[in-house]
Amino acid sequence: MDDDAFENLKDAFRAAPSTQLGRVIIEEYIRREELDAAGLLYRSSIDEHPDLQNDEWDTQFLEQEPEDLRAKLKVVEKDESVINIDTFRAKSTTFDDVVGLDKIKKQIHRKIILPFQKPSLFDRFRKKAGGGILLFGPPGCGKTLLARATAGEIEASFISVGISDVLEMWIGSSEKNLHEVFEKARSQTPCVLFFDEVDALGASRSDMRQSAGRQLINQFLSELDGVKANNDGLLIIGATNAPWHMDPAFRRPGRFDRIIFVEPPDQSGREAILQIMLAGKPLGKLDLAAVAKKTDGFSGADLQAVVDICVEEKLKSAFSSGVPEPIHTKDLIKASKVHKPTTREWFNTARNYALYANESGLYDDILSYLKIKK
C-alpha cells in the first residue's frame, strides 16, 4: 500500500472507525514495522471493536512493557510541532489593536477579565469565575486576534493550539496530548489557552459517534471542568467557523458558556483596518472611506488580501520601470474587484442554521446581523 492510500485509509477510519478498517490499518502498520503505532491503535480500539481481538496481537501489544509506551509518548511530547504550541507572554497585542467590535470587547471585559482580576469581588456575589468563551463567526474577522488581545489585556501568557494537530495524533495518544496542553497552561498562569477550530474536536455526536473521538471529547470536557486539576488563572477561549458542528455538551455552564458572534467589520471598521494594514507602505493620496464603501462583506483577512494584491502589482511595475510607485485609491478598488469576499458563503450556510436550527436562540446575533444587512 502506498503512503497516500494509507493516509486515506487512516482518514476513513477517523471518520468512521470499523473493525475491518482497524484491522487493515494495524496490519499495514505491522508490515511497515511501525509497531508502536500498531500497538497504540490496537489498545485504543479493542474495547470498541472486540472482534479485532486476536491472540497474537494480544501477546504482541497488550503485554508490551508500559515503559515502551511511555518512551513513545515522550517522543510525541518532545516534538512541539505536533501540538503546535505557540506560547509567549502576550503584552504586545491588546484591545487597542482590535478595530471596532466594541460590544465584544466590553463583554469580554465584564465577563472574563474582571472576574479574573478581581475574584474576591465576584466571590461575594457567588459568581464563579471560570468557564470558557467561544468565539464564532465567518473566517478572517478577528477571532484569533481577539483571543490574543485578551491575553495582552491581562498580561497573561498565550497558548494557541490547533485542534487538527491534536487530532492528527489521536490514534492512541491525542488524549494524552490534550492533557499535556492543559497542564502546560496550568503551569504558567495567568494564561489564555486558545483552541482554534474547536469544532473539529467537538464534532456533534452524529458526526463523531465513534469511541476514539468520543473519548477525546470527554477528555476535553473533563479538562474544561477542571475535575482533577485546578483551572484557576486559566482562561479558555475557543474559536470556530462552524459552531453548528459542536457537541451541545460543550455549552453547559462552566464550559463554553459564553458564546460570542464576531461579525465582519462595518464600513468605518474596514476603513480603520485598511489604515493599519497600509501603515508604512508608500502611499499616494488615499480615500480609504471610498475603498471601505466598496468592500462590503470583506473580512479583515480579505482586506489583507486586497492590500497584498496592490503591493504585488506595485512591486511588479517597480521592477520594470525602476521607480517605486505609491498605492492609490484606484489600485485598492481594482484589487477589491479581483478578490472575492469570503464571508458571503459563510453567511449562506449560517443563515440556514440560524433560521432552522436556532435552539435556545444561539444564533440570534446572526439573525439580527442579517436583518440589518437586508
Ligand X SMILES: Nc1ncnc2c1ncn2[C@@H]1O[C@H](COP(=O)(O)OP(=O)(O)OP(=O)(O)O)[C@@H](O)[C@H]1O
Starting at the edge strand found earlier in the chain, the sheet holding 86-89 runs 86-89, 157-162, 191-196, 234-240, 132-136, 256-261
- Cα–Cα distances in angstroms (integers) from residue 137 to residues 242, 244, 333, 366, 367, in the given order: 8, 11, 25, 9, 12
Name residue 327's beta-bridge partners. Answer: 283
Helices (H), 34-96: 35-45, 55-57, 66-78
Could you say which of Mg ion, ligand X, none residue 341 binds, taking C-beta under 5 to 8 angstroms by partner kind?
none
CA torsion through residues 83, 87, 93, 95, sign = positive
Amino acid found at 243: P
**What separation in angstroms does the CA of 321 have from each of 123, 312, 324, 330?**
67, 14, 8, 20
Residue 300 contacts ligand X per CB under 6 A: yes
Distance CA 354, CA 374 (A): 15
Among Mg ion, ligand X, none, the one that 39 touches (CB under a kind-dependent 5 to 8 A) is none
Cα 272 to chain centroid, rounded? 25
Closest CA to 138 of 363, 348, 346, 368: 346
Residues 242-271 that bind ligand X (CB under 6 A): 265
Least distance to ligand X from the beta carbon of 186, Å? 25
User: Can you tell me the distance from the alpha carbon of 268 to that of 99, in angstroms, rounded to the nearest whole number?
Assistant: 9
Q: How far is the CB of 87 from Mg ion (least distance, A)?
A: 17
Q: Compare residues 39 and 138 and give the one whose CB is closer to ligand X.
A: 138
Taking the mean position of all CA atoms in its chain, how far away is CA 110? Answer: 23
Output the smallest distance, CB 200 to Mg ion, in A: 13
Report, in Å, the least distance between residue 101 CB and ligand X.
5
> Does 101 engage in binding with ligand X (CB under 6 A)?
yes
- Residue closest to ligand X when measured from CB atoms: 300
Binding site for Mg ion (CB under 5 A): 143-144
Binding residues for ligand X, total number by CB under 6 A: 18
Does residue 341 touch ligand X according to CB under 6 A?
A: no
User: Out of ligand X, Mg ion, none, which partner does residue 212 contact, by CB within 5 to 8 A per kind?
Assistant: none
200 binds, options Mg ion, ligand X, none, Cβ within 5 to 8 A by partner type: none
Q: Which does 140 bind (CB under 5 to 8 A by kind): Mg ion, ligand X, none?
A: ligand X
Residues 154, 22: Cα–Cα separation, whole Å: 46
Which listed range, 17-25, 141-149, 162-170, 284-292, lies at the site for ligand X (CB under 6 A)? 141-149
**Contact with ligand X (CB under 6 A): which of 83, 145, 178, 191?**
145
Name which of 121 and 276 has its Cβ closer to ligand X. Answer: 276
Q: What span, in angstroms and rounded, lies between the C-alpha atoms of 318 and 324?
A: 5
Which residue stretch of 171-179, 186-194, 280-288, 298-306 sits at the interface with ligand X (rule: CB under 6 A)? 298-306
Beta bridge partners of 191: 157, 234
Between 129 and 239, name the residue whose CB sits nearer to ligand X. 239
If the CB atoms of residues 129 and 134 are measured against Mg ion, the closer one turns out to be 134
Cα distance between residue 91 and residue 107, in whole Å: 20
Here the cell at position 281 is 507602505
142 part of the interface to ligand X, by CB under 6 A = yes
| 241, interface contact from ligand X, Mg ion, none, CB < 5-8 Å by kind | ligand X
142 binds, among Mg ion, ligand X, none (CB under 5 to 8 A by kind): ligand X
- Which residue, 151 or 291, is less far from Mg ion as judged by CB? 151
Residues 60-99 touching ligand X, rule: CB under 6 A, are 98-99
Interface segment toward ligand X; rule CB under 6 A; list 143-151, 155-163, 171-179, 221-229: 143-151
CB-wise, 22 or 243, nearer to ligand X? 243
Residue number, 22 or 162, with CB nearest to Mg ion: 162
Partner from ligand X, Mg ion, none contacting 251, C-beta within 5 to 8 A by type:
none
The CA distance from 134 to 136, in Å, is: 6
Neighbours of 157 (CB within 10 A): 18
Binding site for ligand X (CB under 6 A): 98-101, 139-145, 239, 241, 265, 273, 300-301, 304
